[in-house]
Amino acid sequence: MLKDYPSVAVVILNYNGKKFLEKFLPSVLGTNYPNLNIVIADNASTDDSVIFVKTNYATQINVIELKNNIGFAGGYNEALQYVEAEYFVLLNSDVEVTDNWVMPIIELMEQNPQIGACQPKIRYYEDKKMLEYAGAAGGFIDRWGYPFARGRIFDTLEEDCGQYNDIVPIFWATGAALFIKKNAWVDVKGFDSYFFAHQEEVDLCWRLQLLGWKVYSCPQSVVYHVGGGTLPKSNPRKLYLNIRNSLIMLSKNLDKKEKFGKLLSRLVLDGVFGAKLFLTGKWREVWAIIQAHFGYYRWYFTVKKEHNLTAVPLRMLDGVVNQSIVWAYYARGKKYFSEIIRKK
């Protein structure tokens, strides 16, 4: 048990999410952690989200109103400049939390000063026995830079039977419920705002590890995520952002010796994926992949900056699986995390 309770700020970035705030804010307000501040950072919503919060929770919740919708990454980067706490919790508006969701993670992070970021177990709100797409029981990455999670490989979700209840170091923690020490957030300079949305938490956690921080999963904390509240999973815009941002992330963070080979392999694999979509008549998705590649080239030639982080071979970091998840899933039929990664 903690003798002193460090300050924790739960910051919910909202964009036209009044229906989620109505539904899920009561669970957040019911959190039993004693030193908690709740903040709504509004990303220039056009609905009456802000009026709703100010009318119903004026004394319980602080509201930060951003002038423009600058995405998940930019929104948090700006909003957290105005938040004072030892720990930030970046929480999606479409998440229902449990009473004791904060304490186990703060205890873990206080016990191990190297842990800069951590996530709870993410279950699916509509079917609470299932792990959820956005993070499940902790994020990993394969040798070609494809992110996946304990309990979720591509579109295959596992039932939560306690098989991932161990506290483990991971590669990335989900942005749906991301705990991060303020010192770590400042050290890594927050999200890459260029990402706008998607993959930004994977990039952030990669950079945290390069700076010497650890990232962990703490399944003793449980939350329930609706998912797809702003962009549905099948949306071509989401596909575009995921592919473009993944390529940017690899270009930024990979060691120079492995960068060319891995990027070339990813471009080829994206082409194979696009050909499959083409054969099934999914023209919008094919166009999204083409646009994503050109978006990456545009970033590379007009925006790219030299980063000061000392890159190390990807395999040296926590949460890296030195094989191809694409091959394991599609060619070998390995659908579950436990089939691919055997416990030692």
For residues 67-76, average pLDDT: 94
pLDDT (tens digit, 9 = 90+) per residue, 135-190? 999 999 999 999 999 999 988 999 999 999 999 999 999 999 999 999 999 999 99
- Record the tokens describing residue 181, joined without a space: 């020490």
Residue 234 is predicted with a pLDDT of 61
Contacts of 151 (CB under 8 A, 6+ apart): 131, 136, 137, 157, 158, 160, 163, 164, 337
| pLDDT score of 90 more than 70 | yes
Q: Indicate the domain borders of the chain.
A: 8-225, 236-340
Q: How confident is the model at residue 252 (pLDDT cuts 50, 70, 90)?
A: very high
pLDDT (tens digit, 9 = 90+) per residue, 215-241? 999 999 999 999 854 444 568 999 999
Place of tokens 């071509």: 236
- Record the tokens describing residue 268, joined without a space: 């080829």
Place of tokens 């890296």: 320
CA pair distance 17, 1, nearest whole angstrom: 36
Give the rounded percent of residues in the chain with a pLDDT score beyond 70. Answer: 96
CATH of domain 8-225: 3.90.550.10
Average pLDDT, the chain: 93
Residue 111: exposed, middle, or buried by beta-carbon count in 10 A (0-12, 13-18, 19+)? exposed
Residue 344 is predicted with a pLDDT of 53
Q: How many CB atoms lie within 10 A of CB 77?
A: 18
Residue 2 is predicted with a pLDDT of 79
- Record the tokens describing residue 132, joined without a space: 């959820």
- Cα dihedral 343, 148, 220, 32, rounded to 10, equals 170
Q: How many CB atoms lie within 10 A of CB 313?
A: 12
Which amino acid belongs to residue 4?
A: D
Q: How confident is the model at residue 341 (pLDDT cuts 50, 70, 90)?
A: confident
From residue 327, give the alpha-carbon distance in Å to each of 265, 273, 317: 13, 13, 21
- State the pTM of this model: 0.94
For residues 285-314, average pLDDT: 88
What counts of helices (H) and strands (E) characterise the chain?
11, 15
Residue 308 is predicted with a pLDDT of 60
Burial 80-93 (b: 16+ CB within 10 A, else e): beebebbbbbbbbb
CA pair distance 211, 198, nearest whole angstrom: 22
